[in-house]
Amino acid sequence: MKNLITRILSGSVYVALIFTGIYLTKYTPIPFLVVFSLFTLVGMWEITRLSNQADAQSPLISLIDMIGGLAVFLSFFIMYTGSESRSLWLLPILIYLVARGITQLYLPSVHAIHSLERSMMSIVYVALPLGLLNSICAMMSPMMLLAIFIFIWINDSGAYVVGCSIGKHRLFERISPKKSWEGFWGGMVFCIAMAFVFYYCTGSTFGTLNLWQWIVLAIIVSAFATWGDLLESLIKRTAGVKDSSNLIPGHGGLLDRIDSLLMVVPASLIFFIIIKLYC
């Protein structure tokens, strides 16, 4: 019971941070910047920690990569806030790339290829998808981004309920023995049901997609949320750890909470680009 209460409380704080950061963008982008910059820093710290399980990285490189992840997020934020400094959006990324390359030259004892691979992987896996949150806000709306989070949470809940109730056939036993096909389809059905709620019950609050577009988005989120969860499970299994960290009581680390999001964001953005171009 104590563990359940801890999970509920810490999960509530996590949800409140996301809701606050997104909803308040109608007044100012600062809460969004603060919340998701923090997510980026913590996510970069956790992925660096995971990669260090097998082969310790230089502390200096780890620090530069964390700052570099934040630079990637800030670059997208600058690009999509529409400020007068918008033309300078690439500057934080360029500074990181230059600093990262020069640093590698002065660490002769570190395997250069492996070190650079790990740095680029952490940027692409964590910082880039979080940076693309800005793109969804700019192309669609901040509330559409909130709808995506809701889809992910509904999918997780549906998969858990159905999987625990009737799950028998393993979805991807090599990586995640507990996931089942029944849970996967259950999560997708819950997402599609939520698509009907968004269309019929919320008006234009979350966006102006038609019913079929909401349903397609629900399917995309459900499928890529599952792949995102499996990918992080693979990374943790490779690193030989259960959780990405112990940061969130009862839940593990931040990456354990946003693993689905990291795959859902680029996939959803592709869908939104197609809508803008052809619909």
> Over the stretch 212-263, which tens digit does the pLDDT of each residue have?
999 999 999 999 999 999 999 999 988 888 888 888 877 788 999 999 999 9
Domain count, the chain: 1
- Range(s) of the domain holding residue 199: 2-278
pLDDT > 90? residue 55: no
Task: Work out the pLDDT band at 75, boundaries 50, 70, 90.
Answer: very high
Q: Which residues contact 10 (CB under 8 A, 6 or more apart)?
A: 248, 249, 250, 251
Rounded distance, CA 168 to CA 183, Å? 9
pTM of the model: 0.93
pLDDT confidence of residue 1? 52
How buried is 221 (Cβ within 10 angstroms: 0-12 exposed, 13-18 middle, 19+ buried)?
Answer: buried
> What residue type is 109 in one-letter code?
S
